[in-house]
Chains A and B, each alone.
Chain A
Amino acid sequence: METNKMNSSANLVTQLTEQEIQEIMDLASHYDYPQAASIEALKVVQQYRGWVSDESLKAIAKLIDMSPEELDSVATFYSLIFRSPVGNNMIMLCDGITCWMHGCDKLKASLSNKLGIDYGETTQDKQYTLIPVTCQGACDRAPVALKNMQLHTELNETSVLNLVESNSKQTNSSGETQ
């Protein structure tokens, strides 16, 4: 019954791609209630678009039979759902207690200096956004960071800069001048 309801809603959704809709419906099929896929649905869209716009949010809400307001209350609760535009690359520095003892503040200073941005900011060329994240569960390899959800471990002030240099040839034009 729920499935029929979702399929009819799906026809009304024009802002999402077929691929996104398919992935969201697959996830929703794991539950008796499609709302349970709300967070995963937001992540599907975010994976393709980097963030969740108001239009995307409304389309997802319709697809999983929630009100946009309710879905927004969910979207804004979870720290890894972005409701404003972010850079093409997300750099997340762990600020957990062990990484803090291992000098995560120095990594942050090093990256900030290189990119010219503070936590919560995006470089002008839209390549990088820098945010802190909670303990990443890799304390034996501290300090650690995530770049686009990939874990990088045992960093130092110099090696952390590789996170923003390794793909600079493809992505960087002006934002990283020193």
Chain B
Amino acid sequence: MSQADPTNRPLTQHVDQSRGAYDLNQYEAVGGYNSVRKMLKDLSPAEGLDILKASNLRGRGGAGFPTGMKWSFVPMQSDAERLAKPMQKYIVANADEMEPGTFKDRVIMEGCPHLLVEGMITGAAILQATTGYIFIRGEYVEAAEKLNRAISECRDKGWLGKNILGSGWDFDLHVHTSAGRYICGEETALLNSLEGKRATPRAKPPFPQVSGLWGKPTIVNNVETIANIPNIINFGPEWFQSLSLTEDAGTKLYGVSGRVKKAGCWELPMGTSARELLEVHAGGMSDGYSLKTFLPGGGSTPLLLPEHLDTPMDYTHIGKIGSRMGTGTMIMIDEQVDFIGALKNLEHFFAQESCGFCTPCRDGLPWVEKCLDNIMQGKGTRADIEFLDRATVNLNMGYTFCAHAPGAMGPLESALKYFRDEFEARIVSEAS
């Protein structure tokens, strides 16, 4: 089996919409599962983790936490301990892609399901995990079918199961299909959901790396994060860093949607500017529409302005200008759309998707939506704006159990900062 050459598109080099996804034989023929072989034959788990740490891979689900550091908190056994009695540990792919405006993980799972499966096996080999789950949103029926097929092929061929490649290590992998609710994407809520419970977040600490699924050490990472692992193991940290234009390593699956000429999702060097994404890849705004503001990486990321378009899209640079790169899928909001209406649409989503566990989120978000609805309908008063201002404090970090409501405050707070005059212009009474 030939080792494929390093690529500058490690996530999508085998994605081609004009044909079906590669089956196992086709995928192996282009170097698929080499990283599993390398991990089990040539590298110790500690060496694998060192490569991951040195690569500077950061979590692609939105938070951008360094993956190697996250993984380093998982307790490890010596080879002798493990062979005597392996510790139950889990690896979970977060495929609950539900952040509004985000359509990137679908591209990997439908286009090259074996890449995610390989990432899960190689990642599990680093962690010496015993079981893996791909937690996928219920509506991604096609992706779930393709992943199940890929897993089944891997079981038949011995990439999954007992004593993989004669290493003495057993690992199996399952697809777990969900049934709605954005909060399932929150790491600890996902674990509760995977255990068959309501998806309410858990208190941290303990962190899942130590006490996760059924109280056992567990790693949860986004699909795109895990899909990066095979090529990092194959080609090393220097190669991975060289793909990027900035300090944050690798490539990124970027997307652009909204009223643009060619909406889409593209794998590009990390740090590509928002302007290049909009003007080159998405072909600019559609005729008759001009850019007012944009959400850089999904519905919970604070708004940015046209003046920010030249900022490199990475965790560090977008963080410095008061937003978050989030999922890297930008939503362009044009001057022609009802801006308050767009905000209301977002806050309706967050209100509806609150798990209901903590009061500020459960009761505050519907109130935020109501105020925006009042303003949108021309019934708003000074009291509505004042409530929205208070919400950006009382529903924010430190006042809620998890990051759901603070995420909802991202677009609202930035809207009040950049477009306050629009709120003012649309209220009909100064009554407070």
The residues of A with any CB-CB pair to B shorter than 8 Å are: 30, 32-33, 35-40, 42-43, 64, 66, 73-74, 77-81, 95-98, 100-102, 133-142, 146, 149-151
Contacts and interface: CB of A to CB of B under 8 A. Distances in A.
Contacts of A39: 177-179, 193, 196
B349 A43 contact: no
Given A101-B259, A134-B353, A137-B102, A80 B139 contact: yes
B346 A97 contact: yes
Given A139-B257, A142-B257, 7 more contacts: A30-B133, A36-B176, A73-B198, A78-B178, A135-B99, A137-B105, A150-B141
B296 interface: no
A98 B179 contact: no
Contacts of B346: 97
A78 B181 contact: yes
Contact of B138 (A43, A64, A98): A43
Given A40-B177, A81-B179, A138 B197 contact: no
Nearest to B183: A77
Given A36-B194, A96-B101, A137-B102, A80 B214 contact: no
A33 B139 contact: no
5 closest cross-chain pairs (CB), A and B: A79-B180, A139-B257, A38-B196, A78-B179, A140-B263
B198 A139 contact: no
A151 B103 CA distance: 13
Contacts of A30: 133, 174, 176
B337 interface: yes
A33 B106 CA distance: 29
Nearest to A136: B139
B265 interface: yes
Contacts of B348: 95
B340 to A, nearest CB: 13
B383 interface: no
Interface string B105-147: 1100000000000000000000000000100011111100000
Contact of B180 (A35, A80, A100, A140): A80
B255 A139 contact: yes
A98 B100 CA distance: 8
Given A74-B197, A77-B199, A138 B106 contact: yes
Contacts of A134: 98, 100, 180, 182, 349, 352-353
Interface centre among B142, B195, B197, B259 (most CB of A within 10 A): B197
Contact of B98 (A33, A137, A149): A137
A97 B100 contact: yes
15 contacts: A36-B196, A43-B177, A43-B179, A77-B181, A81-B180, A97-B299, A134-B353, A135-B99, A137-B103, A137-B106, A137-B137, A138-B106, A139-B329, A149-B139, A150-B141
A38 B192 CA distance: 12
B412 interface: no
Interface string B226-258: 000000000000000000000000000001111
A151 B141 CA distance: 9
B103 A138 contact: yes
Contacts of A142: 257, 263
B264 interface: yes
A48 to B, nearest CB: 16
B13 interface: no
A155 B180 CA distance: 23
B101 A98 contact: yes
A151 B138 CA distance: 12
B51 to A, nearest CB: 30
Nearest to A138: B103
B333 A80 contact: no
A149 B180 contact: no
A141 B176 CA distance: 26
A101 B106 CA distance: 22
B345 interface: yes
A137 B331 contact: no
B342 interface: yes
B257 A146 contact: no
B413 interface: no
Contact of B101 (A38, A139, A141): A139
Nearest to B137: A137
Contacts of B193: 39
Contacts of A81: 179-180
Nearest to A76: B198
A49 B194 CA distance: 24
Interface string B306-340: 00000000000000000000000101011001000
A138 B329 CA distance: 11
Given A40-B176, A79-B180, A139 B263 contact: yes
A149 B142 CA distance: 10
A42 B349 contact: no
Given A30-B174, A101-B258, A140 B103 contact: yes
B369 interface: no
Given A43-B179, A102-B259, A135 B196 contact: no
Contacts of B352: 134
B349 A78 contact: no
Interface in B179-209: 179-182, 193-199
B138 A135 contact: no
A35 B174 contact: no
Given A36-B194, A36-B195, A138-B103, A98 B177 contact: no
Interface centre among B103, B133, B331 (most CB of A within 10 A): B103
A100 B255 CA distance: 17
B97 interface: yes
